[in-house]
Amino acid sequence: MNFLNIFGLVPYIQLSRLGIISVLLFISLTKTSFANNSVTNAQNQEKICPQQNSIPRRSFETQRYWGYICLGDRKNPLGYFVRTVKNDNNKIILPLTQVKDETYTATNEEFNYSYVINPYELLVYKNQRLILRDRTINSYTADGQLLTNACPQGGTQVVEALTPNFLAYVCQNGKENQQLSLHIIARKGNERITAPLEKTSEHNNSDHKSQKFVAVRGQLRYILTPEMLKIWLDPKTTVKERVIEWN
């Protein structure tokens, strides 16, 4: 089955390479929270990058690490990835080998491991096998601007789900009308779709964690449950993704 045909029917939905993309969950925190957590770290930012007096052009905070994207040079024009351990001076510097939008890949060819970092998660591979996955909790540009958020500005995250190829979020877009929306992000490439949730009796229960969420956008229909993410145009063209984590 060519899954690209499913998304090709709706021009504004482009989740490329759906059948082969290899893929945590991202929680929405405010810019103020990032600033408070990074006061001590910011004092040493000029010493982070290999180039003297250069500050990172991207900064990522995960649950365990700080990750930085630094400018390149003649030897490595794409730039450098710098990873530091929280509460530790342990630092590694690797050349970037691939940059796609806000997804950065750095590789150590000698030991055959690589890092992939984006505004949603940090992935570490050894011999092409995933050995570590860490949630990104903050991501910012050099001037402190927020890169992206799982939920729209002012929205509240209700549910987050991880599948092999996707990150899925249910967001509450306002306190008054309690409108809910579904946001699905490809773990490779970070292509994103957003669809309003249908209003059903299942959404009236305050226990969102055990519900079924149904959304429709154009000709595509989405169903998210604690067990499965389903995307289909009709019964004969269905994409099913098992939910690995549900929060």
Q: Which residues of 155-187 are buried (b: 16+ CB within 10 A; e: fewer)?
A: bebbbbbbbebbbbbbbbbeeeeeebbbbbbbb
76 alpha-carbon distance from chain centroid: 26
Considering only residues 15 and 110, tell me which one the structure prediction assigns the higher pLDDT: 110
Question: Which range is most confident: 11-20, 87-96, 113-122, 192-201?
Answer: 113-122
Question: Any residues with CB less than 8 A from the CB of 153 and at least 6 apart, and which?
Answer: none
* pLDDT, average across residues 223-238: 88
Q: Grade residue 214 by pLDDT with cuts at 50, 70 and 90.
A: very high
* pLDDT, average across residues 29-37: 40
Give the whole-angstrom CA distance, residue 96 versus residue 115.
9
Considering only residues 172 and 22, tell me which one the structure prediction assigns the higher pLDDT: 172
Considering only residues 201 and 75, tell me which one the structure prediction assigns the higher pLDDT: 75
Considering only residues 207 and 117, tell me which one the structure prediction assigns the higher pLDDT: 117
Q: What is the pTM of this model?
A: 0.69
H-assigned helices in the chain: 4-8, 31-37, 39-42
Q: What is the mean pLDDT of the chain?
A: 79
Considering only residues 233 and 12, tell me which one the structure prediction assigns the higher pLDDT: 233
Report whether pLDDT(62) > 60. yes
Give the whole-angstrom CA distance, residue 142 versus residue 126.
30
The two structure tokens encoding residue 153: 């500005």
3-state secondary structure 198-237: CCCHHHHCCCHHHCCEEEEECCEEEEECCCEEEEEEECCE
